[in-house]
Amino acid sequence: MTAIETLSTHDTDHAQLHTILHAQQAAFRAAPMPSLEQRLQALKALKGALLKNKQALCEALSRDYGRRSHQDTLIADILPCVAQLNYTRKHLKKWMKPSRRHSGLMLVPAKVEVIYQPLGVVGIIVPWNFPVMLSLGPLITALAAGNRAMIKLSEFTPATNQVLRKMLADLFTPEEVAVIEGEADVAAAFSALPFDHLLFTGSTQVGRHVMRAAADNLTPVTLELGGKSPALIAPDMPIPLAVERLIYGKSLNAGQICVAPDYVLVPEDKRDEFVAEYQQQFQAMYPKGVASEDYTSVVNARQYERLTRWLAEAEQQGATVLPCHPDARDDQGHRMITHLVLETRDNMQLMQEEIFGPLLPVIPYSDLETTLATLRRQPRPLAMYLMSFDTALQQQVKTTTHAGGMCINDTVFHVAADDAPFGGIGASGMGHYHGKEGFLTFSKAKTVLSRGKFSTGKLITPPYGGWLQKLMLAFFLR
């Protein structure tokens, strides 16, 4: 194993990060524009390796979590990557094609086009909640755009990292794709490297540190953060249907999703109906509570302790906590089913911070317009969910509230739209990837003006004041 192949969890020599980066930069300079065929071949190979390793990845993620539903991994980690690979391979030729632009009368005769060049070396910082999708997803886009990549995996998913590292090492040289592991100090050093672009997925708090470190190198960043994504149930929406549409988005991966519904706003006269319906539907999905094979654990003891601490704090301040199943917690196995939290206060920790787990505050409201005004004053979340069939209300919420993305009468599935950008706004992030927008994020759109033997540029050079220049200025300054 050479010095540039990988950093193990125990090897935190920051100098190696620069060695890997310099090797990739040199390789990029030697081959700065991979062909369409080369890119397609890389994507094809990656798809084959992913399908070959899907069972190993499911088992590894379950080991990392203590228990993680294989179905959760297949649906939320493996399937999105396969779909993205298929979509990208189908459209890449069109994306790479230079686009013709109008030169305008003032520049005639000239040809203007925009070409899409790879940026160079892309850094990808991966969180623990979906380590396959959130490492390979950005990698797919980076490779499609012709870049090389360094991937910093989370220290909280060591078994999954081992599978990913071997899979990628079998496909790519270290000068093409390099996998980095290590603790927080390695992540900090990684974010301070002079990448050509840096993509970070994680918390808003850490995102600020990443952007600050990148600023020293003027490294452009794409930040996929999170925030408190609301689910608003309008008065016209039947409660059973509303619960059906949002419960999966909160149950998948035990709510450890950046776009999971963080809290629910429900008409005050329907709050109790919502609680009863949610508990009933949850028990139908997970009849054994925390013992259900289909239910995923909280990732580790640290995150579990955070959630239980927030619950205890809320109860001490007067909140009512209602588990959705009698078998609600397994402290030793850090497993917790969804807990509905009523009578919350704004100063509670779970109302201040993104929950990122199986806690769901249920907040009644009496006036819809007041509620919408309150939402507009909040930090802009990564997702907004509206449950309503009122088309006028749908249009109002779509156009007057801000969020990274939105679902109407559903949750989380907008992330799976291959032909649409994904990204936050404000405190929930900046920039986009997925689909064509991802290709553009990891490319330099360079304008190229070409002239032949004749150029009108000579007509405007000094000495100034000739009759032809005066005529031209009079014409264009109308």
354 is catalytic: no
Where b means 16+ CB within 10 Å and e means fewer, 237-262 reads bebeebbbbbbebbbbbbbbbbbbbb
366 CB burial (10 A radius; 0-12, 13-18, 19+): exposed
Distance CA 376, CA 209 (A): 26
Q: What gap in Å lies between CA 4 and CA 15, rounded to an integer?
A: 10
**Which residues, 6+ apart, have CB-to-CB distance to 367 below 8 Å?**
none
Measured CA distances, 453 to 42, 109, 132, 385 (Å) = 41, 10, 53, 58
The Cα–Cα gap between 372 and 397 comes to: 8
Angle at 164 between CA 196 and CA 430, to 5 degrees: 35
Element spanning 385, H or E: strand 383-387
Q: Give 124's strand partners.
A: 151, 199
Which has the closest alpha carbon to 176: 23, 51, 48? Answer: 23
Q: Which of 175, 176, 181, 224 is catalytic?
A: 224
Identify the DSSP state of 129: S
Helices 184-191 & 204-215 angle (0-180, nearest 10) = 40
Q: Which residues contact 231 (CB under 8 A, 6 or more apart)?
A: 246, 261, 263, 264, 265, 385, 386, 387, 411
Residues classed as catalytic: 224
